[in-house]
Chains A and B, each alone.
Chain A
Amino acid sequence: MDWVVFGVSAAVVLVGALGVVTSRNPVHAALSLVGTLFGIAILFVAQRADFLAVVQVIVYAGAIVVLFLFVIMLLGVDQAENLEVDPLVGQRPAAVGLGLAGLACLLLPIAFGKWEWLSGQPSVVGPAHTGTDPNVTRLARALFARYLLPFEATSVLLVIAVIGAVVLARRPLGSERLDETVREEP
């Protein structure tokens, strides 16, 4: 059963990822991204990270992709991109070669089973699964005790992001929109 869940969601994740990279239309890329994010959420559930799976669906698939689609529709950039044009000669083969080399480097420790190369020595904050507490309880206990300061710092980060978005999206002072002045004239 584990293998079936993993196989199906891994296929969904990879097909979605390849769809993001290869689809010419940005709207199709965004919809492929939804598939990838759902597949990742299933893999989170399979590894008993229930809270993160729910947050993944709500925040990523619910908010971020909708924001992407909103910007695509707002700007009207949903026309297809010509993938044949290569503005920098030889850049695409170089990118693919670099990617394959990086993949080889990443898979080498997994193939040899040397987890220490990737993870370092385990330092236990608190047990993730052993015991009887549910996942959310453990997460909350670690988040609001040991990681309280980073948690508060994220609130500052979110405020900065909101202010930055407002400043960036604000209309420059003294420049009225053309369509509004036209509408007032008759």
Chain B
Amino acid sequence: MPGAWYLTLASILFVVGAVGLLVRRNVLVMFMCVELMLNAVNLTFVTFARMLDDIGGQIVVFFVLVVAAAEVVVGLGIIVAIFRRRAGATADDISLLKG
């Protein structure tokens, strides 16, 4: 199984996540799109770990998992704090810093 197919799949997955992040308005769904992008990058790292026969790629995926878990915890905490102040917030409603 050549690695090119895995890399192509990871590229498509990353782009789907990025477009979703730009298109969607619900902050929770935007967060899920970030997770999609992180998973695409993880798949790329594992593929290169196999192709170059280097365990370092899998180590990086391990750290990405830890950082993603921490990011989700803090991000969802922020979302809960926002929703406590106003109901039904989309990304367009959170525009206090707009000039």
Question: What residues of chain A have their CB less than 8 Å away from a CB belonging to chain B?
Answer: 2-3, 6, 10, 13-14, 17-18, 20-21, 26, 29-30, 33, 36-37, 40, 43-44, 46-49, 51-52, 55-56, 59-60, 63-64, 67-68, 71-72, 74-75, 77, 81, 87, 91-92, 95-96, 98-100, 102-103, 106-107, 110, 113, 115, 118-119, 122-130, 135, 138-139, 142-143, 147, 150, 154, 157-158, 160-162, 164-165, 168-169
In the A-B complex, list the 8 residue pairs whose CB atoms are closest, starting with the nearest.
A168-B77, A21-B20, A95-B22, A161-B70, A125-B56, A99-B19, A106-B11, A122-B52
**CA–CA, A43 and B49, complex, Å:** 13
Residues 27 to 54 of chain B near chain A (Cβ within 8 Å)? 28-29, 31-33, 35-36, 39, 42-43, 46-54
Q: Are A168 and B78 closer than 8 Å at their CB atoms?
A: yes
How many Å from the CB of B32 to the closest CB on chain A? 5
A-B contact pairs, 17 of them (CB 8 A): A36-B39, A37-B39, A47-B47, A52-B65, A59-B69, A67-B76, A75-B83, A96-B23, A99-B22, A124-B56, A125-B55, A127-B53, A128-B52, A139-B62, A154-B63, A161-B70, A164-B77
Instruction: Decide: A60 near B35, CB < 8 A? Known: A26-B26, A67-B72.
Output: yes
**CA–CA, A28 and B1, complex, Å:** 33
Extra 6 A-B pairs, beta carbons < 8 Å, given A26-B26, A52-B62: A17-B36, A52-B61, A68-B31, A92-B22, A126-B54, A161-B73
- B: interface residue count bin: 35 or more
Q: From A169, which residue of chain B is reached at the shortest CB distance?
A: B77
**CA–CA, A52 and B23, complex, Å:** 31
In-complex Cβ contact of B55 among A64, A127, A154 (8 A): A127
Instruction: Decide: A36 near B54, CB < 8 A? Known: A64-B68, A106-B15, A128-B49.
Output: no
How many Å from the CB of B4 to the closest CB on chain A? 5
Q: Write out the residue numbers on chain B whose beta carbons fall within 8 Å of the beta carbon of A91.
A: 22-23
Q: Are A77 and B26 closer than 8 Å at their CB atoms?
A: yes
Q: Are B80 and A81 closer than 8 Å at their CB atoms?
A: no
Q: Write out the residue numbers on chain A whose beta carbons fall within 8 Å of the beta carbon of B92.
A: 87
**CA–CA, A85 and B25, complex, Å:** 10
Q: Write out the residue numbers on chain A whose beta carbons fall within 8 Å of the beta carbon of B8.
A: 107, 110
Q: From B44, which residue of chain A is reached at the shortest CB distance?
A: A118
Q: Write out the residue numbers on chain A whose beta carbons fall within 8 Å of the beta carbon of B76.
A: 67-68, 71, 165
